Amino acid sequence: MTDSETGVEIRTDQGTAYGLTPGSHDPDLTEVGAGSPMGELMRRYWHPISLSEDATDLPAAVRILGEDLILFRSTDGQPGLVHPRCVHRGSSLLYGRVDDHGIRCCYHGWAFDTEGNCTDQPCEPQNGANRDKFRQPWYPVEERYGLIWAYLGPPEKKPLLPRYSTFEDLGDDEHIFTDDKNIGSGRYFSGIVPFNWLQHFENILDTAHFYWLHFFHSGPQFGSRYGEFDVLDFQPWEKLGGLEWNITTTGVAVDRSAEIPDGRVLHTTTETVLPGVRGVSNPFGDPGPTDSLGFVVPVDDTNFKIFTVLRGKDRSFFERIESMRRPGADPHADPSQAQRFPGDWEAQGSQGAITLHSEEHLASSDRGVRMLRRLLRDQMTVVADGGNPLNVAFEAGNEVVQIKAGQYFQK
C-alpha cells in the first residue's frame, strides 16, 4: 500500500492481535443443560455420579449435567437421588435425615422414599391423608462396578444400565476396583476438573499430543515399555502418518502401529465410546485388551469428573498411576514446574473454561477430533428426531457394550 499524497510505500504489520474478536464456543457441542441438544443426548444415558461407598446415611450434594441433586442411602441399603428442594416449602434435603426407606426433611418431617413418594407427613392430621398426592422429584439410580449410576432423561426412554465387555467373565482371582481421582486429567485428586468435558474427551483421539506433549515437550510423562516412543530421533509426522481413525459402531477409535526396536510391530487401539467412555490400553502389564475404562461425566458446562473402573487382582494399577505423578502436577508446588513440564491439565485447561471453537484451525492431526464432533452432532440429531442414540439397549442380553481398546503384537 502506498500513501496517496506522497507515493511512499506504507508498511503495516500484519496479523497483530489488534482488533482481535473475543471468539465463541459452540454451545451445541459443549453445553449439557436440560433442553440443549447435547444435554438431551447426554440424558439418554446412565452416568456414574459417585463411588458406591460415598452414598451413605449423610446426604451428599452432587451436581451432574448442570443439575444439583441430593444423593443418600437409606438404612435398608437403597441409594436415592432427589431434587434438593423439598416439595412442601423448599428446605434442602441436604439437611434431611435418612431412615429405613428414604429421607425425611428437617423442617416439618415429610418423608420420601427413594422414588420420591411421600410416605409420611407427621405434622398433618392422620400423617397426611393426602400425602399420596405429593412426590419429591427424583431420578432412578443403580449400582454397578462400585459406582452409583443415574439416569436423568425421559422415563419412557430409560435404557438398561450398560455392562462393558472389559469387565465381563472375571477370573476367580479377579475383582472390580473403582477410583474417582480423575485419572487422565493430569492431576490425581478427588475433586472436579474445572473445564468443559469435551476438551478432555476429544483429547483421547488426539494422538499427536501424545507424541508431542507427553514425550517430546515435557516428557517422557508415560512409560514407553517397548521403546515405541523413541524421542531422541523424534519425527512426529512420520509416526503420526501411520494413524487410522474410524467411526465405529460405538464411538470413534484410533489405531496405530509402531515398529519397536526388536522388529516386532505393536498395534494399539484407543477409543471414545459414547457417551463419555475412554478406552486406553493399559500402560502396565502385558499386551491385550485394556483392563480399565475411564468414565468422563459432565458436572456442568465448565466442570467434569472422571471415574475409572479396573479389573484386576488388586488396586496396584491406581497406586502406580499415582506414583507416576509428573513434575508440575501438584498445584501446591512451584508453579514454574507446570510451565516447564506441562501435561494434560495445562494443555486442556488452558484452552479455556470452554474452548473457543470459532478461533480454532483444525489440521490433519485433528482428524479424530473432527470425527468425534461429527458423530456427536449426528447423535444429537438422532435424539432430536425421536430416535435412540448409540450404545443404548432395552432388551436384557443386549446391554453389553463391546470395548476394542487394547494393544497387541502383529503376527
Which residues of this protein are in contact with Fe ion, per CB under 5 A?
344
Partner from ligand FES, Fe ion, none contacting 108, C-beta within 5 to 8 A by type: ligand FES
The strand pair at 163-164 and 400-401 is best described as parallel
Q: 184-203 mask for ligand FES (x: CB under 6 A)?
A: --------------------
Applying the rule CB under 6 A, the residues between 33 and 92 that interact with ligand FES are: 86, 88-91
> Cβ of residue 206: shortest distance to Fe ion, in angstroms?
8
Residue 293 contact, options ligand FES, Fe ion, none, Cβ 5-8 Å cut-off depending on partner type? none
Binding partner of residue 175 among Fe ion, ligand FES, none, CB cut-off 5 to 8 Å per kind: none
Residues 98-157, interacting with ligand FES (CB under 6 A): 105, 107-110
Q: What angle do CA 359, 360, 363 make, to 5 degrees?
A: 155
The rounded distance, in Å, linking the Cα atoms of 406 and 397 is 24
Residue 107 contact partner, candidates Fe ion, ligand FES, none, CB within 5 to 8 A by sort of partner: ligand FES
- The H helix count followed by the E strand count for the chain is 9, 22
Is 109 or 140 the residue whose CB approaches ligand FES more closely? 109
104/367 with CB nearer Fe ion: 367
CB of 89 to ligand FES, least distance (A): 4
Cβ atoms of residues 290 and 404 within 8 Å:
no
Under rule CB under 6 A, which residues in 332-371 are in contact with ligand FES? none
Output the smallest distance, CB 184 to Fe ion, in A. Answer: 7
State which residue, 185 or 250, has the beta carbon closest to Fe ion: 185
Rg, C-alpha atoms of the chain: 25
Which one of Fe ion, ligand FES, none is in contact with 344 (Cβ closer than 5 to 8 A by kind)? Answer: Fe ion
From the list Fe ion, ligand FES, none, which binds 67 (C-beta under 5 to 8 Å, kind-based)?
none
Burial of 214 (0-12, 13-18, 19+ CB in 10 A): buried
- Contact of residue 266 among Fe ion, ligand FES, none (CB under 5-8 Å per partner type): none
3-state secondary structure of 148: strand
Q: Which amino acid is it at 27?
A: P
Ramachandran angles phi, psi of 162, nearest 5°:
-70, 155
Give 91 or 119: the residue with its C-beta nearer to ligand FES: 91
Q: How far is the CB of 62 from Fe ion (least distance, A)?
A: 27
CB 334 within 8 A of CB 185: no
- Residue 103 and residue 109 in contact, taking contact as beta carbons nearer than 8 Å: no
Which residues sit opposite 185 in a β-bridge?
none
Kindly tell me which of 271 and 344 has the beta carbon lying closer to Fe ion. 344
Which residues, 6+ apart, have CB-to-CB distance to 403 below 8 Å?
A: 164, 165, 166, 271, 273, 277, 279, 289, 290, 293
Taking the complex as a whole, how short is the minimal distance between the CB of residue 62 and ligand FES, in angstroms? 20
Is 112 or 151 the residue whose CB approaches ligand FES more closely? 112
352 binds, among ligand FES, Fe ion, none (CB under 5 to 8 A by kind): none
Count the site residues for ligand FES by CB under 6 A.
10
- Which partner from the list Fe ion, ligand FES, none does 91 bind, CB cut-off 5 to 8 Å by kind? ligand FES
- Contacts of 309 by beta carbon, 8 Å cutoff, 6+ apart: 145, 146, 147, 164, 166, 167, 176, 177, 178, 292, 293, 295
Q: Which conformational region is residue 133 in: left (phi greater than 0), alpha (psi within -120 to 50 degrees), or beta?
A: alpha
Smallest separation (angstroms) from Fe ion to the CB of 410: 25
Nearer to Fe ion, 151 or 195 (CB): 195
Cell of 335: 508453579
- In whole angstroms, the minimum distance from the beta carbon of 141 to ligand FES comes to 21
Non-local (6+) Cβ contacts of 123 within 8 A are 108, 109
Site residues (CB under 6 A) for ligand FES? 86, 88-91, 105, 107-110
